Structure 1
């Protein structure tokens, strides 16, 4: 991903040039633009891109998550259609957005390496580079593969800012300081005015005018306008360096009519001449989708400036590269897998407001068929209060109408415990028990509860009725922790208080398989307060033995321990404490030595870092049942339903 360090960098010159340079070397490369220009700028509509306007609206509406999922979905379609071996993603340059934060989010979502696009190579440019990369977290330290210097000798305006488009009366271009402070430069692309020469029709669109004479495709790159001339009635935009003869594109101010000779195009505007000048000063260095001539020119110009060795390095797959599963990619994968599963999920807390809202969204998006327990009229009244619609994709179960259908079967299942018919009827008044019986009969595919019920209330009936899977020695739990750059799996944080070494090994194996099911590369860290052989004591012995058992039972899994948490996640700490470990510094699955530790850690991380935590997801059950936190948000419930639907497809 090409990441700009400033506004209006003309980044398309670098991205187009890099793609062409790679293609010239025989590499199947393609350019992906996560975002495109708004209609009032260049009428650019790429089917793989989200418009700037839509992006701004979604972020303002608090829908950043949905925006990033859309970008990932677009990228997957782009890859499928282009079948490119190397993709160059072009970072966004836009004053209306937090540019660095959004670029970092997109970079993480696409699991991209970083090439930084700088406007210079001096110490000042290096400082700006560092500020930009702060938004990228660990990726800004470990995933930067090179730097591009772009337009360092571009003209500057009266404020010392580089002006790539319609650059003013100008004189000589002022070069950036030649003292190079930036390392690993893969290209130093100078300014060329023709790369940023805009067409008459682009100018007309931007100022709200129209081309009334001449060639709408005529290009201009410099404003010729004397602010001291109070009688000036038009603005001249030249296509060549200014001469005594007027040429290029002329914009007629409000109220001025008539034709001009010796010009390539005439634009009429409803603005006065002063407002035209101010508007043109804000015109960004962007490329219209239909301006193929300028795109080809920019690519042809920039491609030769790329270093051959750098191009070769960018073309190769790094076998040692640690793949990341970003929150956006994870959420998208959840919804895609759940839609493909077509499962019915029981929701015993059917009239609980958050559950009703989640059910509406789940049904509308096709994630699953939610089955709401309760009186239909009451549930619909809650939906109306919450401002949501429960459409055809939602099903309802009235417990009073169906309860007696399950009495005999429940008595049969619990006969060894001496359960009577009267006791069974009383148990079935609990909707979780009723839902569990429907699950046992395969009338639903999974069950989600806990928005109101405690974990014990949710889990006890399935443990009594559904039991564990044939290949599982226990039931455990994991949380999916949606960190900014990577989704982690934490286990066990909800079920087993003091696991034995054999229990811990089973939890590690279950959690690794869960990670793999959901597309996360499982690198399992057996976490405790000591790394390797540096510590002694019974707690360390338990984790050491658990690691041995897990490796012996599943040699195909990447498991290591004992590891301290910092050694598990930080490459620099791992290099000191666990050199040679294939897990340390890049763990994705974390197995805690006890419920006390796991529960404290997951809540501390979730609340202190203000991140989404999905779970607990139960592992080892014969059929999928999942618990919710009583503080769960609507999105938490939606994704838990999706997880449950996916689990229902697994043996």
Structure 2
């Protein structure tokens, strides 16, 4: 089963609480405990009504304060200060903390009550993507014709798709019951794979109770304060400014009667009407102007066995009170059993519960946003800390990144260099390296151990212990031997050294995994709205067809290991069968080799970049392709093309390029670009730590299999 769903209204007053309640009821019948999460709530004092409703009805995962991230005021302040990233990170952190405690989390989006309405749709779409949740879209069908509804649902689908969201279904809510069948037929006629359900307006659900009215207008309850009477729905306002006979003619069931507090005749007449079977049952009387009933009238009323409806009092005049009553919203609350039952009956009568449950089961968002990617790799690295060596302590970026990594508990770190020099430079930068070891290869007793082992491994190339002892002064060789001999789980270098300098020692002694013909690399390209994988942009100048196939398969496995669903585009200067030539032929052959070796992978090629990344272009050039327009893994035909493309995208599109991440080695060793930033270093160390976790897990599985005689 998928593990989350995001409910997003496309406009205000869509009745989203009814739909959220219906979905929660469905989930609670199938799961022991469900998480309910609101990214933004109007306030925490009083408690958000939707949170109170769900908490009062269901056994929810987590504590109440874990079920929301921010208040509307906090969101508006962060947006005004340009701290959007901090806002989204805060929501993601709060959501993940709750998700750890529940098999499924229903995310209930914002209600157009504070955040700028013009920005709110985009805000919810981005949140859904960052949380990796498919979207149940709610469209307001009130006062709309069938044509209007079709247009609104089309806009909803197109807008969400344009934002990269995965649409689960659409609910058109609050439709006029007389138009229900017509609108459902029109919706069915344009429905795609994702269904459209039409739910009618139920007047009582949009009407406040007497208690809500009393609270909303700040009224004092003088008489008739019983739970049943206060929880009755108030359907209409009747202003009693005429004589009593005319007032009685205008009474309707559920009316709130407003009258000046000195109109004893109206008060007695309305209460008397409630005791007669020949008149409608009003919901309450509100006395305005701050006037209280005379003592004699109070004694008379006290003599009744019971007061048939609440009598309220306010200081404001009748006109102002009428305005205030009209502004009181209807809110579903835990104790409103009738309204809750009505809401659930309406939802289940017009939404196919079995179809919805099945779609929740199978529909998953494949979107991986940069925020999700970075958050996930940091969290995964922290769960099982690995030991990473950073050889380039002379680079200030490495020292600053090391402090961040240490503070966040991403990995256990060792820096290579002269400890006094490193400490002095760190002090100058204001960097705290507490808890980080610094080893000087020149004086370390490990140098001799590493040199002897290196000489043994490279004897066939003429290496001697004395030569190896000198080579081990090189931090790249020293760090690589630390990884090889288990003194560290992985290495990250390249901020101050060339790729060749970083990778050569690994190719000499770490070598490739069994079954891997070639060491290659990928960059994780963190674009504003997605994460793409580029390979190979750093290692292999001119791979042949077989090597390209190996690179594609390795890149797909790396992508999947870090949460990016692999759809492989084998890139060339032509698409499909449109081009000829040696280079195109090699890409075509490589594509076929991938299909033969890994028939489970989605791969297409040869393909131009625009056809791989743009849905419209992809449909024109390769109609029906699962990869065209939706590629996530891009395999370049040669190093020249790949290296230039990744740098062009990095600089022109403002993408963060994480890598190059090396793939195919027996131990995790990763290169950095010499133009890398501090976040690049942090992310690459986290990736290296995860690779080390995976290596350890694979080794443990192998040991178990051998022990079991498999």
Deviations 1:103-148 (CA, angstroms, capped at 9, x unpaired) = 1122223240442332543577777767766763446687363232
From 297, 300, 308, the equivalent of 2:342 is 300
Greater C-alpha radius of gyration: 2
Report the Cα distance in structure 1 between the residues aligned to 2:222 and 2:441, rounded to whole angstroms: 75
TM-superposed CA distance for 1:499, in Å, is: 0.7
Give the total of aligned pairs.
602
The residue number in structure 2 matching 1:369 is 412
- Whether 1:102 and 2:123 are equivalent positions in the alignment is yes
Q: Secondary structure at the match of 1:110?
A: coil
From 28, 32, 35, the equivalent of 2:36 is 32
Moved more, 377-386 or 629-638: 377-386
User: Please, which runs of 5 or more residues in structure 1 have no aligned partner?
Assistant: 154-174, 227-237
Report the Cα distance in structure 2 between the residues aligned to 1:484 and 1:276, rounded to whole angstroms: 50
TM-superposed CA distance for 1:625, in Å, is: 1.0
The residue number in structure 2 matching 1:347 is 390
The residue number in structure 2 matching 1:500 is 544
1:147-546 counterparts in 2 under 5 A? 147-150=171-174, 185-190=196-201, 192=203, 194-195=205-206, 197=208, 218=230, 240-244=255-259, 291-294=333-336, 297-298=339-340, 300-301=342-343, 303-305=345-347, 308=350, 310-317=352-359, 324-327=366-369, 328-350=371-393, 352-375=395-418, 389-392=432-435, 394-402=436-444, 404-405=447-448, 406-418=450-462, 424=468, 427-483=471-527, 486-546=530-590
- Whether 1:66 and 2:89 are equivalent positions in the alignment is yes
Distance 1:22 1:50, change over 3 A: closer
Q: Does structure 2 retain, via aligned residues, the 8 Å contact 1:348–1:435?
A: yes
The residue number in structure 1 matching 2:632 is 588
Q: Secondary structure at the match of 1:367?
A: coil
Distance 1:110 1:320, change over 3 A: closer
Report the Cα distance in structure 1 between the residues aligned to 2:478 and 2:397, rounded to whole angstroms: 21
Report the Cα distance in structure 1 between the residues aligned to 2:311 and 2:420, rounded to whole angstroms: 70
TM normalised by structure 2 equals 0.70
Deviations 1:405-438 (CA, angstroms, capped at 9, x unpaired) = 4444444444455456676555444433321221
Report the Cα distance in structure 2 between the residues aligned to 1:628 and 1:138, rounded to whole angstroms: 34
The residue number in structure 2 matching 1:143 is 167
From 112, 115, 135, the equivalent of 2:137 is 115
Distance 1:191 1:609, change over 3 A: farther
What is the aligned-residue RMSD (CA, Å)?
4.8
Moved more, 474-483 or 546-555: 546-555
Distance 1:632 1:471, change over 3 A: same
The residue number in structure 2 matching 1:167 is none
TM-superposed CA distance for 1:308, in Å, is: 5.0
Deviations 1:439-495 (CA, angstroms, capped at 9, x unpaired) = 122100001123333333322332334233333222101122335565332211111
Q: Does structure 2 retain, via aligned residues, the 8 Å contact 1:35–1:51?
A: yes
The residue number in structure 1 matching 2:58 is none
TM normalised by structure 1 equals 0.75
Distance 1:452 1:404, change over 3 A: same
Distance 1:577 1:299, change over 3 A: farther
Distance 1:149 1:140, change over 3 A: farther
Distance 1:240 1:277, change over 3 A: closer
Report the Cα distance in structure 2 between the residues aligned to 1:268 and 1:36, rounded to whole angstroms: 34
Report the Cα distance in structure 2 between the residues aligned to 1:221 and 1:378, rounded to whole angstroms: 77
Report the Cα distance in structure 1 between the residues aligned to 2:314 and 2:424, rounded to whole angstroms: 58
Report the Cα distance in structure 1 between the residues aligned to 2:454 and 2:385, rounded to whole angstroms: 27
The residue number in structure 2 matching 1:158 is none
More helix by share: 2
- Whether 1:90 and 2:112 are equivalent positions in the alignment is no
Q: Does structure 2 retain, via aligned residues, the 8 Å contact 1:15–1:31?
A: no
Q: Secondary structure at the match of 2:522?
A: strand
Report the Cα distance in structure 2 between the residues aligned to 1:130 and 1:384, rounded to whole angstroms: 60
TM-superposed CA distance for 1:41, in Å, is: 4.4
User: Please, which runs of 5 or more residues in structure 2 have no aligned partner?
Assistant: 1-5, 52-63, 240-252, 260-265, 268-282, 299-308, 699-710
